[in-house]
Structure formats: C-alpha cells, structure tokens
Structure 1
Amino acid sequence: MTTESKKPPTVFISYSWTTTDHEQWVYELATRLMSDGVMVKLDKWDLKEGNDTLAFMESMVTSTEIDKVLIICERGYQAKADKRTGGVGTETELITPKIYGNVGQEKFIPVVSERDEEGKPFLPTFCSSRMYVDLSIEYEKGYERLLRTLHQAPMHRKPALGAVPSFLFEQEVSHYESSNLIKQLNSAIENNPKRVRGITSSFINTFLGELKQLEITSIDNPSLLDETVKEKIDESLPLRNVYINFINSLSESDEIDSDWIVELFESLYPLAHNQKNNSYYESQFDQFKFFITELFIYTCAILIKHNQYKVLSEVFNNEFHTKNFTNDNLKIRFEGYRFYIESLERLNERLGYRKFSYTGEILSQRADNSLISKEEFLNTDLLLHYISKILRPDERYFWFPTTYMYRSAYSHFKLLSKLKSKRHAEKIKCIFNADTIEELKLSISSYSVAQPIRVQNDYFNQAPHIASIIKPDEIATML
C-alpha cells in the first residue's frame, strides 16, 4: 500500500497541564505529528467551549476511531494518575482496565518526556511495566521510533519465513563447529582482538577433526577406489569454503601470520599418508592430497588478494616440519604440498574422460569461490611454479602448475603485470627473495626450464614462460 492511499493513523494525546512549558512541549509534539501524517486529537484544538470534558475524554479513550493513545509521562502526570486526581485521574480510570484486561494491547503508548534525579522515567503505576517511547534524552531518535510505530513502519522488520535449508537433510560433511568459529573470529576482530589467537588455534584442531569425515575406512572393491576418492573430494567442498572464509577474515583484518599457516599445513600433511600400522592402499588418501593442494593454492591466493606479501614470502621460504608413516621428522618446502593424485588420473583413463589432467580439470571446475575468481586461482597455481623454480632452481621436485591448460592465453596476470609499477614492485619483490628492484629483475631473469612445462601427451599446450607475462626490463618502468 502506498503512503498516498493508506489511511493516516489517528491518535489522542493524554497529558497533564503541569506547567505552561510542558503544555507548549505537548502542543509542538502534536503539531509535528500532524505535519508528519498523523491525525492528532488534542484538547487544545478539539475540545470546544460548552463541550462535556468527561464525555470528550471517554470518547477519546474508548472510540474505535482512535488508533493509539499517547500517554505523556512526566512528574505531574504520574502524580495525578497514581492519586486519581483531575482530568488525568479520570483518564487513568478509563485506561487502566483496558491495559490490565489485555496484556498484549498496543493502543496505549507511554511517551516519556521527563525523568527524575536518578534518571528514572516518571511512569504511572498502571503502565510502569509497559514498553515506552523515550523523548526525554535523545528526542529525535525517540521521535522517529514513535513515528514509525504510528505509521506501522518499524525500523527492524521481521523477515518473511523462509524454507527449511536443504542442507539439513543432505548427507554432507558437518562443518558446524568450524563455521561457528568464523562467527567468533569476526566478532573478536571487531570487539576483542586479544581473543583472535585463541580462536585461530581452536580452528586448526576443529578443522582437522572435521576432516576425518573424509577418511575412507572400508574398501569393498579396490578397483573402484578411484571413484570413492572422487566422491570424497566432492564432499570436501563445504569444508574448503569454510577454510577460505576463515583465512580471508584473518588476512583482510591483518591478523594473519605465517606461523599459523605453517602450523596448519604441518598438521594437514600427515592426512595424505597412512598413520596406522595396518594394511592400506596408497590411493586411499588421495582425497586428502587433492584437498591439501587445493587449500595451499587458495591460501596463497587470499594472501595475494589482501597484499600480504611479507607473510607469503615467509611461507615460500619456510621449512615445514611434519611427518609421514616412515618419518616422524620430515622437513619439506611448500612444493611438498603439491601432490600427484594417482587415483584421479587412473579414473580419467578407466572411464575414458580423455582429460590431459583430471586433477587439473577438477581443480579448475571447483574454482568458483565468491572470494577468489577462477582466473585468480589459476594464476596463483602458475605463480607457485615460477616461485618454486626461481627460489630453488636446482631442486628436482618443483611445483607443477596442474591447471595451466585451463588458463586462457589472454588471461590477465594482475600480480605480475603490477611489477611494471615501481611502487608495486617495491611491495611485491619480497616474494621473489629480492631486496632491491635490481635483485627482482635478476630473480625474474633466473627463471629457467630445461624443457616446456606440460603434462604427458599434451603436445599443444604448455605452461607460459614468465617472460611472456613480464619481461625483466619492464619491471619498475612506471610509477
């Protein structure tokens, strides 16, 4: 219903002639309400000489044409109402039964215009337990509340009842506890930053606990294990998104540090290997290998998104102390979190999908998170390859960019393109282990591969050379 066609509310103002100043206060309130579309019944302009005052008051209180009765509560009104004296006393005798007889009534609204020396509102006994509108302190705020009440336009509207969330009845992995920690984290960041460290520690333990739901505990048909792995990867998506939201909140608020990231991935690594003294299939843990690789790419993408280059540099240069089934004192670099997922490539061949890399295919398909675009995800995977070859050129094992073939040849590589700006190059150079612009140019120049980076049988595509995106002599040539 539009404001033009809606019938204006009609209100009666019940008040005491305590002082001339108070009478003027009431008169100005009534006048303003009239100007704001409220039909006001007031003795000053509705009670004429010769009228029966008692009949007028009774009609105002009992009439069905009166939508609301505003009870102006101040020192004089409270005294007269409680002692039942004067016109206020008469109105009180008329109003009281209607209030006490209907607990849920909304017609009679106390409006506080004055408070006592202790700051308590002057509320008559008959309405002391009722919610009131306060015009004694923040007048404008209280007036808006009153106006919204009269026009039935509340500031906080009750939302429409929606449908029951379908995920409640879906057989998906539970992520309630880790999702709840995101809410706690966001609240702590805003209201109590000292709690952030404790929440981040709790998240690691909670997240690891929820990941146990992805374990493959029984294998009825080993020849179909690859399909089970794919199913577990599909089930992991909600947990992946929870993690992305958590680290995004940390990074965005500048509460992120490399120690937390290192601790998390040191704790994740053992999931990719058998930890029990029993027989097992190596592919039985491939869902975790995929998940960990994906999480590492997203971690770096989030850090880049929020310009956390120092933290990213520390992660790239850190030595991760973790373990697997045969070694409790395993030391790896970040390249160790890029796993080859044998079961997915076997599934690719067995079912005739004919993908150059089924792992890359799935990573690309899943790169649909609202915080990180697909292009950003694919670029980050490629960046990890460049960093790996630049920082550790002599290492046999490097980060292979599994998703390179899903990157458009015309894709914009924002981070590397920004190196043309001297201002941005100064910020970004640390991730290439460079202290100066000249060292940065040397680092980029040092990228070298003995042969094109491509997956087996992909004769038409190869990972782009870094020089095809940014040439060393282009670095820092702009402001």
Structure 2
Amino acid sequence: MKSTIEHPKVFISYAWASEDYRLKVRSFATDLMGNGIDVLLDQWSLKEGNDTYAFMEQSVTDPTITNVLILLDPIYEKKANERHGGVGTETQIISPEIYNKVKQEKFLPVIFERGENGEISKPQYLKTMLHFDLSQEEKYDSEYQRLVKRLYGIEIVEKPELGKKPLWLEEKSIIQTKTRTGYECLKQQKSDNIKKDEYRNFLFAVKEKIVNFRKDELGDSVSTDEYIELYADTKLYRDEFLHLLKYSLYVSEAHKIIASVMEEICVEIKSKGGYEGEVMRTLLHEIFIYVIAYYLKNKNYDALSYTLSKTYFVGRCGDAEVGSFDVFYDNNESLDRAVSQKDDKNYYSGTASYWINNINIEVCNKNEFVFADIFCHNASLFIENYTRMWFWFPITYIYDRTEYRNSLFRQFAIRLKSNEHLQEAAKMMGYSDTESFKKKYIEIERKMKEGIIKEYRYNSAFETAPVICQYVKSEELGIRN
C-alpha cells in the first residue's frame, strides 16, 4: 500500500486560453489549496522578470513537488503535439520523465475540458495513461474527491484482503439421489392442479424439516465453532429448498406456492427460541435472497412482482400481524461474531461472508446473489406495498464494490434509460404502468436529495448500498427505445 503524504505539493501544467479558462484553472487551484494541498501555479507563483523556462523546468523536476497535474483540453493537446509555446516546453520536460520510468506516479493527466463533440483530448505521449475526469459537471465532485485522495497518497480503491478458497469448489451434493429422482415427476405431462399439489407437498416436506430442526446436544452456551457448525447443519434444508426452486419452471404459478410456504415457515419459526431459532431465521433470510436471485436470473417478472408486493401474514393464534417481504429479514449478530472470530477477520458482516463463501452455484453465482440482495433494498424503496419505516439493508452489498463498472445492479440501473427495460422494472416493482413508477421514482429521488431518505451503509464503510437513482436521473427514464 502506498504511504500517505502529509503535505502534498503540486505543480499545475495547463494551456493558456481564454480569460474564463484561466479563471477556471485558478478556481480549481484555490480549491486544492483550501484542501491543504500546496499549489505551484504560474498565475500566482511566476512574477514579472522571471525566466519562464527555468520556472517550468524547476517546477516539473523539483523533488518537493509530489505531483504534476496536467490539465487537458483541445488546446493543450494541439500545443503539446506540436511542441508549441509554454505547453510545448513543458512537454519536452515532462515526456522524457514519463517515457524513461517504468513506474511513474508523479504526473497525473486531468481531463479539464472536452472537445466540441464531447471527445477527450490527450497529447500523444499521454494516450495510454489513466486519467481523472473533471470535465463533466455531474461527476465533478466525485472525481475531485478521488483526485484529492490520490494527492494525499490514499488508496482510491483499496485492494481487498485475499480470502479463502470457496468451499463450494470441491463440494458434492448432499441431497439424496432418491429425493432428486422423486422431483423428476414434476417434468411429466400432467394437469396443472396435480403438479401444483405435488410441488406443494415436496415443499411442505422441506418446510417441516426446517421448522422442526433441533440439535439435542447443544448446551446453554456454544463455542464459535459449534455455532458455525449449527448453521452449517441447515445447509441440507437450504439446498433441498433451492433444488425444488429450480423445478418451479415446470409448475404453473409455482411462485405463489413458494411464497406461501416461506410465509408458513416464517410464522412457525418467528418465536422459536434458542440457537436453533436464530439459525432458522437466518436460513429463511438466505433462502429468500436466493429465490429473488433465481427470478431475476430467469427474468420471471410475474414471480418477482408477486413475491415482493405480497402482504405476508405472520401472526400466530389469531394475531393479525402483517408485513411486506421484510418479514424474511434477519440480523444474526451471533453468526456475525462467530464467523469473524473463526476467520480472525473484522468482517462488516460475518453472515454475509459465510453466505458468499458457501454459495449454491447450482442456483446462482456470487454476483447474482449480491444483485438480488441489493435489488431487495431498492424494492423496499419503490414498492408501494412496502410499509415499514426502515428499508431492507443488503448485508452483502460490499461484495459488489470490486466489480463496480460491470456489476449486475449497475447494468440493471443504466438499462432503465430504455423504455423496454423501464416497463420490465415497473412490472417487477408492482406497477401497472411506467408513469406510476416514474412518479414514485421522482419522489424517491427528491427525498434522497433532501436527506429525508438516508444512505444505507456499514458504519465504517465508504461505499453505500446502491440505489438506482444514483445511476439514472428521473428525466432519463425510458428516453431510448
């Protein structure tokens, strides 16, 4: 990891253009000064009678200068390539420094203004270098913050710790062959009602195993290893449920049966005491995310809409307690601590780490699971039937950060610019038309800007749980075919 810089000092190289441009450069340099970064800028450092060449050479090669910021625009590119004027002089000084060093971190290209058609202008000797982009107003603040971090020697994206080999690599199925074979009858040509009854009976059998789960040898207190082993013992039930989930393709309206069985499980384990009750509620939370991941993966929008918009009745003995899909949410601090202690890691969530490490790849991969969890967070914001004051917190969202540009959630959000995808998203969220969804979108967008809806994040995390409003503005929704 690169060491931090206590007192950054930078030289700014730029092309003299209009007076407005020079004022813009000076304003940028003033902001840096205000953030504790000493700036060497010709507008306030070069006095009448000074040798301009000597000033440039000294500024570029001075060892006390921690970074040289090269502010790029079309004029700078032209002058640098033609070796013209002060920019040409600086290019002759800077380019050998870049070309002759295998690893150079001193010179930082900054896109300051783009061409008439939005193109990025870079001199030939800088073409292959990564850059910061301060040319777009909507991204200026985030890019400026990235740049300041870089100038202080702070990692912009910290490399994650090396994890362990995932357990599922060498795992064999623990579902009995007889059980798997029995499910095959769902593929046969039968009436819808017969298949529904068979499917419900299969799921009911798994449900009974879950609600009656008990481990007799447990004492009043358990060790870290014992608690993790207890949760690991529920894996068979998870995988049996998920194996049946895959057969939903062959059963009409299977999603209604699945939602009903999950509701029944929730009712029966809601007040179950002891360690078994804790792990069962966490297991149901995990299963629910898998169900949403599977529907997303298979583009089953009817199933998504039904499952996420449904009202769940989870009271017992005549209690009329109702809830949205948040009834499946659980916060297992015991599992969080146990996993963190066992691995000797300070995980944001030991539960999330365990889930990711033990992913059932027959149903979805890690990225699809995380996408589903984040999707639930967004659904809790946008679905009208979601009535809780708190929103679904996606405990796995931190596993989306290393693939930010290609994350499934970001792809989903950006596609809302397409009217086709907008219609699909509106359907998933339970809206009958896109206009109703847009109205809600504008409301959420406004509440986020006004701070009425707060960002969700782990206390010590820089990244927040992503929301589609962060990627697509309301006026961009459905603007393309």
1:343 aligns with 2:341: no
Q: Distance in 2 between matches of 1:327 and 1:176?
A: 40
Give the counterpart letter for 2:286 in structure 1. E
1:333 aligns with 2:324: yes
1:136-175 alignment to 2 at 5 Å?
A: none
Shift of 1:307: 2.3
Higher relative contact order (CA 8 A, sep 6+): 2
In the other structure, the counterpart of 1:299 is 291
Shift of 1:176: 5.9
Distance verdict in 2 for CA 1:173–1:369, change over 3 Å: closer
Please list the CA deviations of residues 343-399 of structure 1 after superposition, one character each: whole Å capped at 9, or x if unmatched: 112324655431011111112222341332221111110010111122367632321
1:5-24 alignment to 2 at 5 Å?
A: none
1:432 aligns with 2:429: yes
1:452–1:462 contact (8 Å) kept in structure 2: yes
2:227–2:338 contact (8 Å) kept in structure 1: no
Distance verdict in 2 for CA 1:197–1:365, change over 3 Å: same
In the other structure, the counterpart of 1:73 is none
Q: Distance in 2 between matches of 1:405 and 1:182?
A: 36
What stretches of structure 2 of length at least 5 have no aligned partner? 1-170
2:313–2:320 contact (8 Å) kept in structure 1: yes
In the other structure, the counterpart of 1:364 is 356
1:168-247 alignment to 2 at 5 Å?
A: 178-186=179-187, 188=188, 190=189, 193-211=192-210, 214-224=213-223, 227-247=225-245
Q: Distance in 1 between matches of 2:178 and 2:205?
A: 7
Distance verdict in 2 for CA 1:194–1:348, change over 3 Å: closer
Aligned length: 299
1:214–1:232 contact (8 Å) kept in structure 2: no
Q: Distance in 2 between matches of 1:172 and 1:311?
A: 27
Please, what TM-score do these two structures have when normalized by structure 1? 0.56
1:355 aligns with 2:351: no
Please list the CA deviations of residues 34-89 of structure 1 after superposition, one character each: whole Å capped at 9, or x if unmatched: xxxxxxxxxxxxxxxxxxxxxxxxxxxxxxxxxxxxxxxxxxxxxxxxxxxxxxxx
1:466 aligns with 2:468: yes
Secondary structure of 2:313's partner?
strand
Give the counterpart letter for 1:452 in structure 2. E
Please list the CA deviations of residues 321-345 of structure 1 after superposition, one character each: whole Å capped at 9, or x if unmatched: 2346x87543221011010012112
1:54-65 alignment to 2 at 5 Å?
A: none
Distance verdict in 2 for CA 1:261–1:212, change over 3 Å: closer
Select the residue among 445, 450, 455 that pairs with 1:452: 455
Please list the CA deviations of residues 189-245 of structure 1 after superposition, one character each: whole Å capped at 9, or x if unmatched: x45545311111211221123336742334225042x54332132233343233223
Give the counterpart letter for 2:392 in structure 1. W
Distance verdict in 2 for CA 1:178–1:264, change over 3 Å: farther
Please list the CA deviations of residues 405-441 of structure 1 after superposition, one character each: whole Å capped at 9, or x if unmatched: 0113221324434323222322331222333322222
Give the counterpart letter for 2:327 in structure 1. G
In the other structure, the counterpart of 2:19 is none
Please list the CA deviations of residues 284-340 of structure 1 after superposition, one character each: whole Å capped at 9, or x if unmatched: 32221121011111111222222221232122221112346x875432210110100
Please list the CA deviations of residues 108-158 of structure 1 after superposition, one character each: whole Å capped at 9, or x if unmatched: xxxxxxxxxxxxxxxxxxxxxxxxxxxxxxxxxxxxxxxxxxxxxxxxxxx
Secondary structure of 1:463's partner?
coil
In the other structure, the counterpart of 2:98 is none
Distance verdict in 2 for CA 1:444–1:180, change over 3 Å: farther
Secondary structure of 1:446's partner?
helix
Give the counterpart letter for 1:473 in structure 2. E
Q: Distance in 2 between matches of 1:443 and 1:402?
A: 25
Q: Distance in 1 between matches of 2:434 and 2:397?
A: 28
Shift of 1:267: 1.5
Q: Distance in 2 between matches of 1:273 and 1:216?
A: 18
Secondary structure of 2:408's partner?
coil
1:420 aligns with 2:420: no
Select the residue among 281, 284, 290 that pairs with 1:289: 281
1:432–1:443 contact (8 Å) kept in structure 2: no
Q: Distance in 2 between matches of 1:255 and 1:208?
A: 20
1:267 aligns with 2:264: yes
Q: Distance in 2 between matches of 1:174 and 1:311?
A: 26
Q: Distance in 1 between matches of 2:431 and 2:172?
A: 49
Q: Distance in 1 between matches of 2:176 and 2:442?
A: 45
1:341–1:359 contact (8 Å) kept in structure 2: yes
Moved more, 256-265 or 176-185: 176-185
Shift of 1:260: 0.9
In the other structure, the counterpart of 1:405 is 398
In the other structure, the counterpart of 1:66 is none
Please, what TM-score do these two structures have when normalized by structure 2? 0.55
Give the counterpart letter for 1:461 in structure 2. E
In the other structure, the counterpart of 2:159 is none
1:453–1:462 contact (8 Å) kept in structure 2: yes
Q: Distance in 2 between matches of 1:173 and 1:248?
A: 16
Secondary structure of 1:435's partner?
coil
Q: CA RMSD in A?
A: 3.0
In the other structure, the counterpart of 1:147 is none
Q: Distance in 1 between matches of 2:257 and 2:190?
A: 21
